[in-house]
Amino acid sequence: MLNINAFLVGLLFGLGLIISGMTDPSKVIGFLDLAGAWDPSLAFVMVGAILIGAIAFNIAKKRQRSLLGAPMQLSSATELDKGLLIGSLVFGIGWGISGFCPGPAVNPKHGYLLRRCWPG
Amino acid sequence: MNLSDFTHSTYIAGLSGGLLIGIAAAMFVLLNGRIAGISGILGGLVQADKGDKTWRVLFLLGMAASPFAYRIAFNLPAVTIEAGTAQLIIAGLLVGLGTSYASGCTSGHGVCGISRGSIRSIAATLTFMTAGFITVYLTRHLLGL
């Protein structure tokens, strides 16, 4: 059951990325380009996701186990350490160079590094 | 037909896609007790001490199936990659290294972490967004790449 749900969540997450337009790196760059023709779409994606997420995580935080009985694995860390901040800085630089964050990049028919390497 | 043709707006498309991502993250935490963070799910596949590979593979297979599912009803939206191959390789290394040290990316910190009010995730998201804004300003407007 947990494995089936993992597949379904991956599928829905991937569909959400496609519908939102975030599988297109030029659209992500459009959001990051404040000095150009700024495209705020990505902010709308975040707002939509967090609206639903906030309700779910508020319920999840109060539980020890999930509805299917799996342990609730939420981090309790609160420290802003160097790894978090420097790591995020390095990630943001890479994200700005390519327009790819991990989600769209693992979507094979759509992440499209493949299409560049294998023509046709 | 393209979905964005009838939503007519990139903002409505963004919000709808975002709501779906939120539903996916909600299902994952409420049913599996886990954070839908793509860098963590992917990274766990190559860590020898993580024994739970099956659900990770299935999650990624679900993501891999999504464009095929989408294509049943709609035309896939066009994708434009402006970065050259060398830039993509460098960017990929930075994204992998960075998200690994930061224990999360746009999904894990940006969506799930902010949703649960994590101070670490809020700091991470502000940091990678600012770094992204500055990087694009440098590459597009100062270096003209």
Q: What is the pLDDT of residue A20?
A: 94
| Mean of all residue pLDDT scores within chain B | 91
Residues B137/A36, Cβ–Cβ less than 8 Å: no
Residues paired with A65 in a beta bridge = A71
Q: Is the pLDDT of residue A11 over 50?
A: yes
Q: What is the pLDDT of residue B79?
A: 83
Q: What is the pLDDT of residue A105?
A: 82
Give the minimum alpha-carbon distance from A115 to chain B in angstroms, rounded to a whole number: 11
Residues of B in contact with A60 (CB under 8 A): 29-30, 33, 116
Q: Is the pLDDT of residue A22 over 60?
A: yes
Separation in Å, CA B59 to CA A3, A10, B28, B99, B133: 8, 4, 10, 19, 30
Tokens of B8: 């007519």
Q: What is the pLDDT of residue A119?
A: 40
- Return the domain boundaries, chain A: 2-117
Give yes or no for A30 touching B (CB within 8 A): no
Q: Is the pLDDT of residue B140 over 70?
A: yes
Residues of A in contact with B63 (CB under 8 A): 10-11, 13-14, 103, 106-107
d(CA B50, CA B29): 19
Residues of B in contact with A71 (CB under 8 A): 33
Over residues A108-113, the mean pLDDT reads 54
Sign of CA dihedral B10, A17, A96, B134: positive
d(CA B99, CA A87): 6
One DSSP character per residue, B47-110 reads -TT---HHHHHHHHHHHHHHHHHHHHHSPPPP----S-HHHHHHHHHHHHHHHHHHT--IIIII
Q: What is the pLDDT of residue B19?
A: 98
Residues of B in contact with A17 (CB under 8 A): 17, 21, 66
Separation in Å, CA A95 to CA A38, A74, A104: 16, 26, 11
Separation in Å, CA B65 to CA A107, A116, B24, B92: 8, 20, 15, 22
Half-sphere exposure of B83 (CA within 13 A, CB side): 27
Over residues A78-106, the mean pLDDT reads 94
Question: How do residues A47-86 score in pLDDT, each as one tens digit?
Answer: 999 999 999 999 999 999 999 999 999 988 899 999 999 9
Q: In chain B, how long is the greatest CA-to-CA distance?
A: 47
Q: Is the pLDDT of residue B2 over 60?
A: no
pLDDT band at B9 (very low <50, low <70, confident <90, very high): confident
Residues B66/A14, Cβ–Cβ less than 8 Å: yes
Residue listed under structure tokens 């342990």 = A71
- Return the domain boundaries, chain B: 3-142
Residues A17/A9, Cβ–Cβ less than 8 Å: no
Q: Is the pLDDT of residue A110 over 70?
A: no
Q: What is the pLDDT of residue A118?
A: 43
Do A33 and B82 make contact, defined as CB atoms within 8 angstroms? no
Give the minimum alpha-carbon distance from B145 to chain A in angstroms, rounded to a whole number: 10
Query: Which alpha helices (DSSP H) does A21-69 contain, by range?
Result: 25-32, 41-61
pLDDT band at B1 (very low <50, low <70, confident <90, very high): very low
Question: How do residues B64-116 score in pLDDT, each as one tens digit?
Answer: 899 889 989 988 888 888 888 899 999 999 999 999 999 999 999 999 999 99
Q: What is the pLDDT of residue B75?
A: 86
Q: What is the pLDDT of residue B108?
A: 96
Half-sphere exposure of B78 (CA within 13 A, CB side): 4
Q: How many residues does chain A have?
A: 120
Q: What is the pLDDT of residue B119?
A: 97
